[in-house]
Amino acid sequence: MKSLYKFFSISLVSSLLLCACIQDEPLNMEADILEVNVPDLPENIRFGTERIKPDKGTNQIEILIKANGKVGELSPEFILTEGATISPASGTTLDFSGFNGQKYTVTSENRKWTKEYTVRVVPPYIMTADNGGNGKTKSFGFNHYQKFDGDYNFHEFYEEAASGRKDFIWGSGNLGFALTNKNTQAENYPTFAIAEGKSGSAACLVTRSTGLFGAMVGMPIATGNLFLGSFDVSQAIKTPLLATQFGVPYMMNEPVEVQFLYKFQGGTFKDKNGVEQQDYPSIYAVLFEPEVTGDGEIILLNGENVRTASNIISIAELDTAQIIRSKDIATAEFTQCSIQFVLRKAFDAQKLANGNYYITIVFASSCRGEYFEGFVGNTLIVDEVILITK
């Protein structure tokens, strides 16, 4: 009888402890959209992959369609963080014909946090000439930027279309840096806007320390970078070279040159072998034909292959011998520079017409930043970028 009593006593205590553990487990505080799928989006106008995984932290989600595509009512489906709910509900049919899209509110499992999202169905940004189909140049002045539309303070650069649409075609690694220093101000991120451009604002890129956390994961620095493309923060820790997704659709003539203004101030660093190296910026542009998977997903270039991939058509790279260093970047004048494209494959006018070509232009404050080597404080300021074609 004592044994039986003891058994029931232990069972009761165990049950109470288990219940206490279950009751004490906190409910999820996250209110994020993890994935979007639009099953009723017509295949003949769909652009890219069927499932969209937005960067964590962003409040703007764009579902891309082909340039001549038109949509009406659609029924997007959402995968959310655990326990979260969304309003309007996943699968609700709404009108997406307007540029403003539709608003959604995600509420966390513990009901204490909400996040507002805007979901739009739009054609992709396609690089065309400044003055129409027969133009031969495209200019970027970095006068358009805003605070990141999410949980962090950093700047995002965008191009403004005649319609007023903001095209966020310039990516940076700021979202990765935010993992180590979430609450810092915009000017303390690796990439930010400054007012002191040639005419208006300019892009300032600075190699930063990532602190104790960065050192622990073998990523002691973050290079200031700005490139045509996007940054996949989900890859930032595990496979950082895959996080940079280079390229935007290109519909101009064959590119021959990139001109730009810059200021640069830098120092030396010790590489992983302990050898002291002079740090300098990395500047290049790449025209390529991306691979396309069976389900229509476009495979962009990344940090592993952006200068070596077999599908590169032409590439322009800055010779480091050209770099002019400033002793005091705050008082230095801008230097005019240019890089010329060199063909690796024949340029195909028909592939251009079919929309098969993509392009990226890349600026980085440290030449080996993708390998987390560089001088903390290396600074590159860039303004008035012009792409010139035949």
Tell which residue, 198, 179, 202, 178, has the closest CA to residue 188. Answer: 178
For 343, the 3-state DSSP assignment is: strand
Tens of pLDDT along the chain (390 residues) come to 444 444 444 444 455 444 544 456 788 889 999 999 999 999 888 877 777 888 666 788 888 887 778 899 999 999 999 999 999 999 999 999 887 899 999 999 999 999 999 999 988 888 999 877 678 999 999 999 999 877 788 999 999 877 677 889 999 999 999 988 878 999 999 999 999 999 899 999 999 999 888 888 888 999 999 999 999 888 888 899 999 999 999 999 999 999 999 999 999 999 888 999 999 999 999 999 999 887 677 899 999 999 999 999 999 999 988 899 999 999 999 999 999 999 999 999 999 988 899 999 999 999 999 999 999 999 999 999 999 999
User: 254 to each of 128, 170, 299, how far by Cα in Å?
Assistant: 12, 21, 21
* R_g (Cα) of the chain, nearest Å: 24
Do β-strands 208-209 and 202-206 pair in parallel, antiparallel, or remain unpaired? unpaired
CA–CA dist 351, 340 (Å, integer): 22
CA–CA dist 372, 84 (Å, integer): 36
Q: Determine contact, residues 106/84, Cβ cutoff 8 Å.
A: yes
Q: Determine contact, residues 186/147, Cβ cutoff 8 Å.
A: yes
Look up residue 326 and give its amino acid: S
